[in-house]
C-alpha cells in the first residue's frame, strides 16, 4: 500500500517545497530528509505537514511524531498509508 | 522588480567563503578591518567569539553574494534586510564601504559579546504556533519575541534558563519544533539597551551616504536614508524583526523576484511559506 505512495510523496515534496530542477528520480526513497540527505530543516518540515494534511488529510500531531515521519520518503509514505482518510 | 534580501547571522558555517578573486578580496578586508580571518577561522584579536565569527562570516558571504549577483547582471530595484543583514545591505546600497561594514560588524559584535561574559543568553526557535501563544509563553518565562518571521515561525531571545522553560512550554502547547541556541547577547530585545552608549558610539563613527537603491527596513518597512542609518542600527537591536510585514510590503511595492544574498535560504523559505498561505486562503 505505502509503496504506491512513494512517487506521489516525492512529487509532493518537490511541489510543496518548490524545488526547482529536481525530479522524483533524484530523490532516494530511503535517504534522510534532513541533514545529509535532502538537507531539509524545520521550516521545510512544517511546509510538508501542511501539504500532507491538505493532500491526504493526514495530521502530524506533534514534534515527536514528526521526527519519525520525516525520516525518509518511505516513512512519510508509510504514515500516510496508515492514517489517510 | 528585483529585491536583494540580506539575511541575519547564520547559526552555523555550512560552507567557507568561495576561493575566487572576490572571496580572497573580501577575506583580506575582513582580516584587516574586522581582525578575523574567515579562511582559517581564526581571530587576530583576543576578544573575538564564535558568535561574532559567525556574524562576520555571514556578512562576508553576503558581500560576496552581492558582488556575484551584480556581475551576473541582476540589478536590484529595492533592498531588504533581516537583523544584521543591515550591514551588508548598507554596503550594497553604497551607504558604507565594504571594509566599514566588516569593521562595524566586528566592533559591534565584540561589544555585544561582552554582555555574555556575565550572563548566559539563548535564542529559541519556535515553529508551528501562532503569535498569541508564543507571546504568552515568552511573557510567562520572561523572554522576548525577537523575530516574527511568518505567522508560524518565531525567534525568542533572553536568558538561558528561562529560555529552556519557554521551549518546554512551546512543545507542551503544540509547537511543531522548539529549539534553543546559545548566543552572546539577546538581540532584538530591550535588554540591549544596557549597551546604548557603547553601540551608539560605534555606529556614529562612520559617515553614511544616502542609499543608491531604496533600502527597506524590517522594523516599520520604511526606506532608510543615510542620516537614519546610525540610529537605526542601534534601535533595531532593541526591536523585533518583522519579516512577514516586510515581505508583504515588498510585494505591495511591486517586487516579483527575490534574491537571498548570503549564506542559506531561510528568507526564501519564509517567503515560500507566506506565499502558500495566501494561495490557500
CA angle at B190 for the pair B246 and B5, rounded to the nearest 5°: 25
* Residue given cell 530542477 in the structure block: A21
CA distances from A41 to A44, B19, B99, B204, B277 (A): 5, 27, 33, 38, 19
Give pLDDT, residue A24: 92
* Nearest-by-CA chain A residue for B269: A43
DSSP B168-180: HHHHHTT-SEEEE
Q: Mean pLDDT across the stretch A32-47? A: 83
Mean pLDDT by 10 residues, chain B (281 residues): 94 84 96 94 89 94 96 94 96 97 96 88 94 96 97 96 96 90 93 96 97 96 96 97 96 96 93 84 60
> B4: distance to nearest CA of chain A, Å?
20
Answer with the residue of higher pLDDT: A36 or B47: B47
Cβ-proximal residues to B229 (8 Å cutoff; 6+ apart), any chain:
B86, B90, B95, B96, B203, B208
Q: Which of A19, A20, A5 is nearest to A52 (CA)?
A: A5
Give pLDDT, residue B280: 61
Q: So where are chain B's domains?
A: 2-115+189-280, 118-183
pLDDT band per the 50, 70, 90 thresholds, residue A63: confident
**Topology, domain A2-83:** 1.10.1200
Give pLDDT, residue B249: 96
Disruptive mutation site among A12, A17, A44, A46 for chain B (greatest number of B CBs within 10 Å): A46
CA distances from B140 to A71, B133, B143, B192, B199 (A): 33, 10, 8, 20, 30
* Nearest-by-CA chain A residue for B174: A62
Provide the pairing of β-strand B144-148 with B78-81.
unpaired
Q: What is the pTM of this model?
A: 0.90
C-alpha cell at B122: 539563548
Disruptive mutation site among B14, B15, B127 for chain A (greatest number of A CBs within 10 Å): B127
Q: Is the ipTM of this complex over 0.90?
A: no
**Topology, domain B118-183:** Alpha-Beta Plaits (3.30.70)
B125 CB near a chain A CB, below 8 Å? yes
What is the maximum alpha-carbon separation in chain B? 53
pLDDT band per the 50, 70, 90 thresholds, residue A65: confident
CA distances from B92 to B1, B79, B80, B164 (A): 17, 8, 11, 38
Q: So where are chain A's domains?
A: 2-83
- Domain B2-115+189-280, CATH number (from 3.40.366.10, 1.10.600.10, 3.20.20.190, 3.30.470.10): 3.40.366.10
Amino acid at each position: 500500500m505505502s509503496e504506491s505512495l512513494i512517487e506521489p510523496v516525492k512529487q509532493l515534496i518537490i511541489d510543496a517545497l518548490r524545488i526547482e530542477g529536481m525530479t522524483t528520480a533524484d530523490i532516494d526513497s530511503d535517504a534522510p530528509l534532513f541533514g545529509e540527505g535532502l538537507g531539509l530543516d524545520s521550516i521545510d518540515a512544517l511546509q510538508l505537514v501542511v501539504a500532507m494534511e491538505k493532500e491526504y488529510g493526514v495530521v502530524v500531531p506533534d514534534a515527536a511524531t514528526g521526527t519519525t515521519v520525516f525520516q525518509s520518503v518511505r516513512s512519510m509514505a508509510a504514515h500516510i498509508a496508515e492514517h489517510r482518510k | 522588480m528585483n529585491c536583494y534580501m540580506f539575511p541575519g547571522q547564520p547559526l552555523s558555517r555550512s560552507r567557507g567563503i568561495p576561493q575566487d578573486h572576490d572571496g580572497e578580496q573580501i577575506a583580506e578586508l575582513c582580516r584587516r578591518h574586522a581582525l578575523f580571518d574567515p579562511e582559517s577561522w581564526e581571530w587576530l584579536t583576543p576578544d573575538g567569539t564564535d558568535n561574532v565569527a559567525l556574524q562576520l562570516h555571514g556578512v562576508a558571504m553576503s558581500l560576496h553574494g552581492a558582488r556575484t549577483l551584480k556581475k551576473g547582471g541582476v540589478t536590484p530595484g529595492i533592498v531588504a534586510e533581516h537583523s544584521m543583514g543591515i550591514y551588508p545591505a548598507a554596503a550594497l546600497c553604497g551607504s558604507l564601504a565594504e571594509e566599514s561594514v566588516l569593521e562595524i560588524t566586528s566592533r559591534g559584535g565584540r561589544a555585544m559579546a561582552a554582555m555574555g561574559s556575565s550572563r548566559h543568553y539563548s535564542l529559541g526557535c519556535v515553529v508551528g504556533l501562532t503569535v498569541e501563544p508564543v507571546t504568552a509563553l515568552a511573557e510567562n518565562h520572561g523572554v522576548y519575541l525577537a523575530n516574527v518571521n511568518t505567522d508560524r515561525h518565531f525567534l525568542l531571545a533572553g536568558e538561558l534558563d528561562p529560555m529552556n522553560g519557554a521551549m518546554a512550554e512551546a512543545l507542551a502547547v503544540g509547537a511543531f519544533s522548539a529549539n534553543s541556541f546559545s548566543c552572546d547577547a539577546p538581540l532584538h530585545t530591550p535588554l540591549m539597551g544596557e549597551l546604548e552608549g557603547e553601540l551608539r558610539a560605534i555606529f556614529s563613527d562612520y559617515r553614511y551616504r544616502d542609499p543608491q537603491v531604496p533600502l527597506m527596513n524590517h522594523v516599520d518597512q520604511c526606506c532608510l536614508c543615510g542620516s537614519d542609518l546610525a540610529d537605526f542600527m542601534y534601535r533595531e537591536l532593541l526591536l523585533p524583526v518583522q519579516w512577514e510585514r516586510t515581505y508583504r510590503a515588498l510585494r505591495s511595492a511591486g517586487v516579483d523576484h527575490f534574491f537571498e544574498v548570503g549564506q542559506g535560504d531561510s528568507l526564501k523559505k519564509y517567503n515560500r511559506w507566506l506565499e502558500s498561505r495566501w494561495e490557500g486562503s
